[in-house]
């Protein structure tokens, strides 16, 4: 389930975010089984994107590090609710959601298998500054009227619990994870390409900037990468990181990423 991202032409995102997001050409993760998850390695050069679409009530867990990104898709039914939209029991939810991501399944890559040890750190090890995001639908007026939902998010308590559980097994991610809401939409709109509804995209620029010094004319400088997280047409956050083993173009050497 380990995939490598491919390069595409990068453009300035500002100021037309909706047009920019629609112009991206991400690799979309598979959606097989109740829960699916894949790890994608960042390229050492070129700009890439990976994402999850078709979320019109589903939940996604995204863990971004300096090495790559882990993206999962969790179906609303049967993980959060049954066919009659009754909440599933807590044991079933924990097994299908958290345990599937932690331990892995036929369609979901294991989070713990990507962490490694202090002696042999994996791509989600604390030294690579992993960040945990959980994307889930906002509650609608229908939810409030028919199911008595009073929270901002449709499954607020459960996603808070899930985020905390994931953070607890990803060292260095800190806090409680970042929970993000999205507007529930139709299946067709969430899967439309190009489109912006019902999707999240992580964009990576491994050559965002280069730090140089006037005191060493032979130095090629320090390469700085940046990842950016988009939900619908909103830029949620970004993070810069340095790539110590990559030299400048012209004397380029490529490292193994992941």
**Is residue 41 situated within a structural domain?**
yes
In this predicted structure, what is the pLDDT of residue 244? 64
**pLDDT for position 142:** 95
pLDDT above 90: percentage of residues in the chain: 71
As for how many domains the chain has, the answer is 1
Half-sphere exposure of 21 (CA within 13 A, CB side): 23
Q: Residue 84's Cα: distance from chain center in Å? A: 30
SS3 content of the chain, % helix, strand, coil (to 5): 20, 35, 45
Residue 257: pLDDT above 90? no
What is the rounded distance in angstroms from the CA atom of residue 257 to the CA atom of residue 104? Answer: 22
Domain interval for residue 239: 2-243
Cα–Cα distance between 177 and 27 in angstroms, integer?
Answer: 24
Mean pLDDT on 90-99: 97
d(CA 225, CA 211): 11
pLDDT at 255 over 90: no
H/E stretch holding 237: strand 234-243
Q: What is the pLDDT of residues 190-230, one digit of tens each?
A: 999 999 999 999 999 988 887 777 776 666 677 888 999 99
Residues 6+ apart with CB under 8 A from 41: 2, 3, 4, 5, 67, 68, 123, 257, 258
* Length of the chain measured in residues: 258
User: Mean pLDDT, the chain, as a whole number?
Assistant: 87
Beta bridge partners of 178: 133
73 within domain boundaries: yes
Contact of 97 with 162, CB cutoff 8 Å: yes
What's residue 206's pLDDT? 86
The answer to whether residue 252 sits within a structural domain is: no
Cβ contacts of residue 78 below 8 Å, gap of 6+? 34, 88, 96
Residue 248 within any structural domain of the chain: no
Evaluate whether residue 250 is within a structural domain: no
Instruction: Determine, yes or no, domain membership for 228.
Output: yes
**pLDDT surpasses 60 at 174:** yes
Q: What is the DSSP letter of 81?
A: B
Residue 155 lies in a domain: yes
Output b/e per residue, 168-180; b: 16+ Cβ within 10 A: eebbebeeebbbb
Structure tokens at 176: 């409680």
Q: What is the pLDDT of residue 7?
A: 36
Is the pLDDT score of 6 beyond 60?
no
**pLDDT surpasses 80 at 253:** no
Q: Is residue 62 part of a domain?
A: yes
């Amino acid at each position: 389930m380990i995939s490598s991202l491919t390069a595409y032409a990068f453009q300035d995102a500002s100021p037309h975010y909706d047009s920019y997001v629609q112009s991206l050409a991400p690799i979309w993760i598979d959606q097989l089984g109740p829960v699916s998850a894949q790890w994608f390695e960042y390229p050492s050069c070129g700009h890439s994107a990976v994402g999850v679409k078709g979320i019109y009530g589903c939940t996604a867990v995204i863990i971004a590090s300096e090495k790559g990104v882990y993206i999962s898709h969790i179906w609303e039914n049967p993980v959060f609710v049954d066919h009659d939209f009754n909440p599933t029991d807590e044991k079933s939810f924990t097994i299908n959601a958290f345990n599937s991501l932690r331990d892995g399944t036929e369609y979901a890559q294991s989070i713990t298998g990507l962490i490694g040890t202090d002696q042999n750190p994996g791509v989600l090890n604390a030294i690579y500054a992993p960040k945990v995001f959980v994307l889930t639908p906002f509650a609608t007026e229908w939810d409030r009227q028919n199911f008595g939902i009073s929270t901002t998010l449709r499954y607020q308590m459960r996603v808070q619990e899930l985020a905390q559980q994931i953070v607890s097994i990803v060292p260095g991610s800190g806090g409680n994870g970042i929970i993000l809401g999205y507007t529930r939409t139709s299946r067709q709109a969430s899967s439309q390409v190009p489109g912006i509804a019902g999707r999240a995209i992580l964009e990576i620029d491994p050559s965002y900037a280069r730090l140089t010094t006037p005191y060493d004319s032979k130095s090629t400088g320090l390469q700085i990468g940046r990842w950016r997280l988009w939900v619908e047409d909103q830029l949620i956050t970004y993070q810069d990181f340095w790539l110590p083993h990559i030299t400048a173009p012209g004397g380029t050497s490529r490292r193994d990423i992941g």
